[in-house]
Amino acid sequence: MKNTKRFINYLFTFATEGIFIGLMISIFCSYASHSSVYVPSSPSFTTNFSNLLNAFTASIILWAVTGIFFGFGSFIFTINHWSLLKKTVINFFTYYFGFVFLALLAGWVSLNLINLTKFTVIFVIIYLICWYYNYHKIAKEIANINHKIKKE
């Protein structure tokens, strides 16, 4: 029962984070496009719906799924018997292929070589920035722990 509660808590937390991030990005994109109307996603996605409310609802579901996917994907780094390289490679490809699927489904990227290449380059850059930041943050924490141990 305790594990079920923990799972539901993670599910809710990751979905909420995904919705929040998706909403912030969509608001930013609406302002950036100088639109006076809020649009929850790309025109290729929203035109699949009879009205913007339905497109917004579908966007919320996609943002929640994205948050859940990325949240649970981060647990790859908790597998202690894998090397950092193995964790990183598996995490990268899990995130990449999962996110490509969601991006295609949402119409954020179209299925052609040029757009997929642009998407991949942007994804790799963002992934490397996040990985570098987390790596150095954890390395600093480990150095602090080691320093405290040496003091004792």
What pTM did the predictor assign? 0.80
Which 8-state DSSP code applies to residue 80?
A: T
Residue 51 lies in a domain: yes
Domain containing residue 10: 2-82
Q: Is residue 130 part of a domain?
A: no
pLDDT (mean) for 127-152: 89
User: Is 108 among the domain residues?
Assistant: no
What distance in Å separates the CA atoms of residue 7 and residue 21, rounded to the nearest whole number?
Answer: 21
Q: Is residue 38 part of a domain?
A: yes
Q: What is the pLDDT of residues 43-98, one digit of tens each?
A: 888 888 999 999 999 999 999 999 999 999 999 988 999 998 999 999 999 999 99
Cβ–Cβ under 8 Å, residues 129 and 85: no
Domain contains 87:
no
Number of domains observed in the structure of the chain? 1
Extract the tokens encoding 45.
Answer: 């996605």
